[in-house]
Amino acid sequence: MGTSLAALTAILLAPPPTSRPSPAPSVGIIDMHVHAYASDERWTARIGNPVTGQAMVATDENAHRAATFAAMKRTHIVKAVVSGDDYDAVLRWKQAAPDHVFVSYGFDDPTRVDLDFLRKEKAVGRLDVIGEVGSQYEGIAPNDPRMEPIYALAEELDVPLGLHLHPGPPGATSIGYPKIRPSLGDPLLLEDVLVRHPRLRLYIMHAGWPFLENLIALLNAYPQVYVDVAVIDWTKPRKEFHRYLRGLVEAGYSRRILFGSDQMVWPEAIDMSVAAIQSADYLSPKQKSDIFYHNAARFLRLEPATPVAPKGAMETLPR
């Protein structure tokens, strides 16, 4: 309603910044990392795309949602896990596209989460995922005791949990996140958590970049853990993204990687993220469709898990 016809037309006609014609898998793509906002300072400041400099295509909730849905449509994203600081905005996205949105509850400070509210949301069938959990922005380590009730709740409700592990934007400590520390993004800080919560359906957002070796150690030890490649697929130099992704795939983990964009206030980042995966010439068509769709479908239980190995021996058999 808030979007003028002219603005909407401009959005729909805007060419994607990267028009690589490579097809998406026939089942489509699942984006595990999309954000909704009711308001945002970056809209007010009209911050262009941080990588391409492209001017903002949307500066309010309705236009941003429409532009993001348009980006999803042109890249064949059929479902997206949507989260944000404003849960009501996420619910409005769900209402606008019930078949395409998974509702996710995001927050940074675990001590301010109303656990009973989440229990109720799950009970009425509204809550699909918990995340993005940005506790690192609050200076809270993955193994901090303040995170314990969150892990216990995700396990109790049997919902996936998406945890942000990433150094954050360059200069983060001087642009509003004084407590963030890159060292808190080390995936091995999750070890004791995974031992205490063996049924936790965890996905590590941003694939714990740049801690590749430690991430591989974690994936090896805990076969239930998945990672998304959001934000690193469109903000990092393409070569660096491929070094990281290729490292994961060559270590044997192509079936544990989830596609994600983390478009934030730049819907065209979805095109850039899809293009990044498509340009990976070291991935087979099967590996691409696993990363784009089937791994997420298995993780979210949209399709049955195909047992690849006897219980406890998952890593000993070929994938």
Closest to Zn ion by CB, 11 vs 141, is 141
C-alpha 311/C-alpha 213 separation (Å) is: 25
Applying CB under 5 A, does 35 fall inside the site for Zn ion?
Answer: no
Closest to Zn ion by CB, 94 vs 164, is 164
Closest to Zn ion by CB, 164 vs 256, is 164
Contact 180, 206 (CB under 8 A): no
| Smallest gap from residue 164 Cβ to Zn ion (A) | 4
Applying CB under 5 A, does 164 fall inside the site for Zn ion?
Answer: yes
Closest to Zn ion by CB, 24 vs 208, is 208
Closest to Zn ion by CB, 263 vs 278, is 263
* Dihedral (CA of 141, 142, 147, 148) sign: negative
x-or-dash pattern for Zn ion, window 110-149, by CB under 5 A?
----------------------------------------
Among the listed ranges 16-24, 46-54, 160-168, 288-296, the one in contact with Zn ion (CB under 5 A) is: 160-168
Among the listed ranges 135-143, 197-205, 265-273, 277-285, the one in contact with Zn ion (CB under 5 A) is: 197-205
Neighbouring residues of 299: CB distance < 8 A, sequence distance ≥ 6: 160, 201, 203, 226, 258
Closest to Zn ion by CB, 11 vs 160, is 160
Among the listed ranges 68-76, 82-90, 200-208, 311-319, the one in contact with Zn ion (CB under 5 A) is: 200-208
Neighbouring residues of 57: CB distance < 8 A, sequence distance ≥ 6: 10, 11, 14, 63, 67, 266, 267, 268
Helix, strand, coil % in the chain, rounded to nearest 5: 45, 10, 45
| Smallest gap from residue 284 Cβ to Zn ion (A) | 28
C-alpha 243/C-alpha 96 separation (Å) is: 38
Closest to Zn ion by CB, 66 vs 185, is 185
First-to-final CA distance of the chain: 48
Judging by DSSP bridges, how do beta strands 77-83 and 161-164 pair with one another? Answer: unpaired
Among the listed ranges 53-61, 103-111, 159-167, 303-311, the one in contact with Zn ion (CB under 5 A) is: 159-167
Among the listed ranges 8-16, 38-46, 57-65, 201-209, the one in contact with Zn ion (CB under 5 A) is: 201-209
Closest to Zn ion by CB, 133 vs 193, is 133
C-alpha 161/C-alpha 203 separation (Å) is: 6
| Smallest gap from residue 132 Cβ to Zn ion (A) | 5
Beta bridge partners of 176: none
C-alpha 39/C-alpha 25 separation (Å) is: 34
x-or-dash pattern for Zn ion, window 202-241, by CB under 5 A?
---x------------------------------------
Q: Which residue is nearest to Zn ion (CB)?
A: 164
How many residues touch Zn ion under the rule CB under 5 A: the total is: 2
Alpha carbon 94 to its chain centroid, in Å, reads 17
| Smallest gap from residue 149 Cβ to Zn ion (A) | 21
Neighbouring residues of 5: CB distance < 8 A, sequence distance ≥ 6: none
C-beta neighbour count of 10 within 10 angstroms: 15
What residues make contact with Zn ion under the rule CB under 5 A? 164, 205
